[in-house]
Amino acid sequence: MKNILVTGSYGQLGSDISSLSKKYPELNFFFTDVDTLDISKKEDILSFCTKNNINYLINCAAYTAVDKAEEETELNNLINASAPLYLSEVSKTLNIKLIHISTDYVFDGNNFKPYVETDKTNPNSVYGKAKLKGEENSLKNPQTIIIRTSWLYSSYGKNFVKTMLNLSKTRDEISVVFDQIGTPTYSADLAQTIIAIINNNFIPGIYNFSNEGVASWYDFAKQIFEYSDISCKVYPIESKDFPTPAKRPFYSVLNKTKIKDTFNIEIPNWTDSLKVCLSKISNS
């Protein structure tokens, strides 16, 4: 029996792992969040992992308010940089395999082709810098897998898909940026991949994961409304017309060759996964 600790289990990814866990009775999951395990306290992590004989640790906990991070730097750094250090140190001491979730924001978005894992990192936001530090801290445990993902959405929690659906209830038209390019990632697909990694050969390293395909936020919004049969009109605008405190990467498409080849997995196209998610939302 593998004992698996999941931190940040109230979030999108943690919730999707929790939902999927029911299909894997051979795996023993411990789902925690700040109310049951404070990962900013190293002694609490050590006590929990020792008591429950943890074999794998999946760190889904993150400060994800990208714009607020520009002001709440201390909280952002605590959750995204310091906590991963404590998790790494404890997991190394107890010989626990660590999976840490990171982001496309570690790149500056100035690329012209999909990012590979070895491309130079250059975050241009407070959030991105803390996430990069979290990666560096996580790698202090040699048994660590880092998964960089992008544009995460789910049937759980707050995300772009739900925001668009909610806005369409009160608006006939909406403007969305078209000059930021990436790939929407269905959290349930990432959750499935993480469980597949645990159930197979755990090979440490940095990996990219998003769904297949490419889109702008404008494309994403249009597809959400089309699949939901919503008549809300979507207008494309430039990022300069929608200023935000944190600078976003203009291009953050991720190359997934490494994770597909290493773990022998197939990744769905983002449009197919969006249909699945919207169906789940409509039936909930």
Residues known to be catalytic: 127
Distance between CA 122 and CA 165 in Å, rounded?
Answer: 33
CA nearest to 9, candidates 143, 156, 194, 192: 156
Label the pairing between strands 56-59 and 233-237.
unpaired
Q: Are the beta carbons of 97 and 143 closer than 8 angstroms?
A: yes
The DSSP symbol for 80 reads I
Label the pairing between strands 97-103 and 27-31.
unpaired
CA nearest to 157, candidates 7, 15, 8, 6: 15
Amino acid letter, residue 80: N
CA nearest to 48, candidates 94, 100, 9: 94
Amino acid letter, residue 124: N
